[in-house]
């Protein structure tokens, strides 16, 4: 069964802390994505990657960075967490580029920044 695993389901951090959200997929997919989901705003794309060590900014990259050192792993980094980054973070992967194929999602990481 195909799987996208996000390491933490729930995190509570303090303002100014550095936060790492890890995502691993076991499908050998080239493409990986990080979204945040907020009530009334839907899903917004933060960063995506089409290959190892490659990254592209999405619609809301400010305050975030990413790392893709291995094909199966895509990490989202909040260098200095702020309260407005309290949200649900969803990782996804796909076999085909961009929107040409199905996105497989992890279960999400709910981050609260105090």
Partner 1 sequence: GEDVEQSLFLSVREGDSSVINCTYTDSSSTYLYWYKQEPGAGLQLLTYIFSNMDMKQDQRLTVLLNKKDKHLSLRIADTQTGDSAIYFCAESSTGYSTLTFGKGTMLLVSP
Smaller CB separation from partner 1, 17 or 71: 71
Residue of 61, 30, 38 lying closest to 108 (CA atoms): 38
Smaller CB separation from partner 1, 69 or 99: 99
Question: What is the nearest approach in angstroms of partner 1 to the Cβ of residue 14?
Answer: 25
Sign of CA dihedral 16, 47, 93, 102: positive
Smaller CB separation from partner 1, 25 or 85: 25
> What tokens appear for 92 in the block?
């996804």
Q: Which residues of the shown chain bind partner 1 in the complex (CB under 8 A)?
A: 4, 33, 40-43, 45, 48, 50, 58, 90, 92, 97-100, 102-103, 105-108
Query: Measured between alpha carbons, how far is 66 from 77 in angstroms, rounded to an integer?
Result: 6
């Amino acid at each position: 069964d195909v799987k996208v695993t996000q390491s933490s389901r729930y995190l509570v951090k303090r303002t100014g802390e550095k936060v790492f959200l890890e995502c691993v997929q076991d499908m050998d997919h080239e493409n990986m994505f990080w979204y945040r989901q907020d009530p009334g705003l839907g899903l917004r794309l933060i960063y995506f990657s089409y290959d190892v060590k490659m990254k592209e900014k999405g619609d809301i990259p400010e305050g975030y960075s990413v790392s893709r050192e291995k094909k199966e792993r895509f990490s989202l980094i909040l260098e200095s967490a702020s309260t407005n980054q309290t949200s649900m973070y969803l990782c996804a992967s796909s076999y085909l580029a961009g929107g040409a194929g199905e996105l497989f999602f992890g279960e999400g990481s709910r981050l609260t920044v105090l």
